Amino acid sequence: MNNNENELSHSNFSVDHIAHAVPDIEEAINQYKRVFGARVSDIKTIEKQDIKIAIVSFANLNIELMEPLSDKSPIANYLQKNPKGGLHHYCLSVGDLKQAYGDQKEKKINILSEPTAGYHGRNLYFIHPSEVCGALIEVEEHEKE
Ligand code: CO
């Protein structure tokens, strides 16, 4: 690939959301409301991922609050290390997820799973934190208009 070309064009990826892992989702919702006057969705239980979620909406970004439903939840691990909660991952979305997955696989990027459908029905996968300085990054299909 031509480096020059790379510098001139934007990446195909854009920011979709940031995920905030919390020990108590109702308390987190109250805090976002109190501190920022934020609008927050209803709490949803996602059995498949063993979490409860709620979406905090800002003008240009959604924050996904996640509370584990049990000790087996992948978020439970994180909260053991960060008992007060903390930023868990951020998500970049792309128009053609299959293409992005194929390209990254070809570049031998360490991807944690095959693309699977998230609770919203869009396909997604995660990139291992060792690939980008310790950040866990989710890659998701753009929301259909
Ligand atoms: Co996410």
Question: What one-character-per-residue DSSP string does 66-81 give?
Answer: EEESSTTSHHHHHHHH
How close is the Cα of 64 to the center of ligand 1, in Å? 7
Phi, psi of 108, deg, nearest 5 = 60, 30
Helix (H) or strand (E) holding 21: strand 14-21
How close is the Cα of 66 to the center of ligand 1, in Å? 9
Q: Where are the domains of the chain?
A: 12-141
Question: 123-127 and 116-117 as β-strands: parallel, antiparallel, unpaired?
Answer: antiparallel
Task: Report the C-alpha gap between 9 and 13 in whole angstroms.
Answer: 12
How close is the Cα of 3 to the center of ligand 1, in Å? 31
Question: 44-46 and 39-40 as β-strands: parallel, antiparallel, unpaired?
Answer: unpaired
Structure confidence by residue, pLDDT tens digits, 45-88: 999 889 999 999 999 999 999 999 999 988 999 999 999 999 99
Q: Tell me which fold the domain 12-141 belongs to.
A: 2,3-Dihydroxybiphenyl 1,2-Dioxygenase; domain 1 (3.10.180)
pLDDT number for residue 5: 56
